[in-house]
Structure 1
């Protein structure tokens, strides 16, 4: 009986993890971020985090911890979340995959959705805050809506099947020139350099 309960708990945890993850292959080619590797001169203080697990969150405190530089590469929400304060996506993370040269892929994803076993989106969520700053390289917002203004300082930021109901400001020319969004994504406000 004890073994069966443990087995059921493991199956439940794995199904939650599977519901939040999505392979690179499931994304259209134009939505796949350029892959980078950590610099050869990385020190322990600047080396990418080696965690590859998802952080499945349903509270403000858990979400803020997950997007910090002590968080995880993928942050999956289970419901709408609203903040009165600025949010900062910080840190450099490996997603657990390798590129064609065998180097770790750096990526960060805010997944505002749930999905079924066939990776079909089953629920979309809103994330509301006055400001979201993107400091993590190769970051994306996927399959949901951010309500507020987004400030991007890192390269290769993406919107994948997502909406920003607000403005999108770029802090550098490199951040602006490397930004991509697929045909199902939109920004309702301005897309411009920050003043």
Structure 2
């Protein structure tokens, strides 16, 4: 009988130890992972392709800076004793035949109607205007002062420069264009 009591005690103690031991913590289920992004992230354009319509010199100076806009349109005559610099490379929002963005910069010294007919022309007066933006133009108005061209493909379209046009590089001079309606009252020469 002693053996039965001992065996019963052993079974009870074993049951007690098995039942009272600490349970292992459940293994946490792995959190679902987010799949990698398959669409390219949205990018912001290098330069906004809108126009700046300006009626004062301070806004004009900001618009022609490298943080300005591709087209700067005046709505009246502007005059300053400061030297002006047209800086930066801007896209005009159009594509060429190869699908590449068209680089352009325009100082529009005029207003127009809904049919794009010029309704008024304005004069911008400054001692000096430096053109550092490629493919820039002055259109349908008058600039009084000297223009220094450092960038390629500068053009005058239906515009007057009441002063000189100096080119600071051979390339700037070789790529300069002006239409039949445009004129320069002073010199057009290379000045390095």
Is the shorter-chain TM-score for this pair beyond 0.5, marking a shared fold?
A: yes
Residues in 2 aligned to 1:70 and 1:49: alpha-carbon distance in whole angstroms:
10
Deviation at 1:194, TM superposition (A): 1.0
Q: Who is 1:93 aligned against?
A: 90
* Structure 1 residue corresponding to 2:173, chosen from 176, 190, 193: 176
Give yes or no for the alignment of 1:147 onto 2:144: yes
Q: Who is 2:112 aligned against?
A: 115
Residues in 2 aligned to 1:112 and 1:101: alpha-carbon distance in whole angstroms:
31
CA pair 188-49 structure 1, distance change in 2 beyond 3 A: farther
Q: Who is 2:62 aligned against?
A: 65
- Other structure's SS at 1:50 match: coil
Q: In 2, are the aligned partners of 1:53 and 1:74 still within 8 Å (CA)?
A: yes
Q: Who is 1:75 aligned against?
A: 72
Render the CA deviation track for 1:131-165: whole Å, top value 9, x for unaligned.
Answer: 00000000000000000000000000000000000
Residues in 1 aligned to 2:81 and 2:172: alpha-carbon distance in whole angstroms:
26
Q: Who is 2:16 aligned against?
A: none
Render the CA deviation track for 1:71-104: whole Å, top value 9, x for unaligned.
Answer: 0000000000001010000000000000000000
Gaps of 5+ in 2: 1-44
Deviation at 1:50, TM superposition (A): 2.5
Q: In 2, are the aligned partners of 1:131 and 1:151 still within 8 Å (CA)?
A: yes
The size of the alignment, in residue pairs, is 148
Cα RMSD over matched residues? 0.9
TM-score by length of 2: 0.76
5 Å matches for 1:13-92?
49-92=46-89
Residues in 1 aligned to 2:102 and 2:125: alpha-carbon distance in whole angstroms:
29
5 Å matches for 1:129-148?
129-148=126-145
Residues in 1 aligned to 2:175 and 2:68: alpha-carbon distance in whole angstroms:
24
Q: Who is 1:162 aligned against?
A: 159
Gaps of 5+ in 1: 1-47
Q: In 2, are the aligned partners of 1:49 and 1:92 still within 8 Å (CA)?
A: no
